Copies of this chain bind each other. A is one copy, B any other.
Amino acid sequence: MIDAVHEQWSIEFNSGIPVYKQIINHICSALASGSLKEGDRLPTIRQLHEQFDVNPNTVAKAYRELELTGIIATERGNGSFIKAGAEPERLSEVDQREKLQSFYRRMLTEAAGCGLTEDQLINHIIERKKDEPVH
């Protein structure tokens, strides 16, 4: 069953990252990793609403943006699908580094606010990697 792709997604309210953007991220991520491909059917708004307790309007907003950027196509009364030729965003090497930098720095700042050090962060990441080498 194709809809299973979203079963390990997580939505964090109060994370600062808009919920609708988290949904977009998850879909783009699935696209990049290959778990979603051209023509695949996305979970319906109702499904996401029920699974993550996200307001349907918020899901709709995510899908609307994805449609505007040409990633998905919505067929009325039939659901939404990954568009033919949809490509996950490609960043230049430089932009990638910058993004990574930015993400990491943010994580550090937030962690620091809770009294967590960079070493603790790194240890956690490494251990996590060891625990789930497959997946």
Contacts and interface: CB of A to CB of B under 8 A. Distances in A.
Interface of A: 10, 12, 15-18, 21-22, 24-26, 28-29, 32-33, 65, 68-69, 88-91, 96-97, 99-107, 109-118, 120-122, 124-126, 128-129
Given A16-B16, A102-B15, A125-B104, A24 B91 contact: no
Count of identical protomers in the assembly: 4
Contact of A96 (B100, B105, B120): B120
A109 B68 contact: no
Interface of A is mostly: helix
Given A12-B106, A16-B18, A18-B16, A100 B113 contact: no
B107 A90 contact: no
A115 B128 contact: no
A90 B25 CA distance: 32
Contacts of A106: 12, 15-17, 107
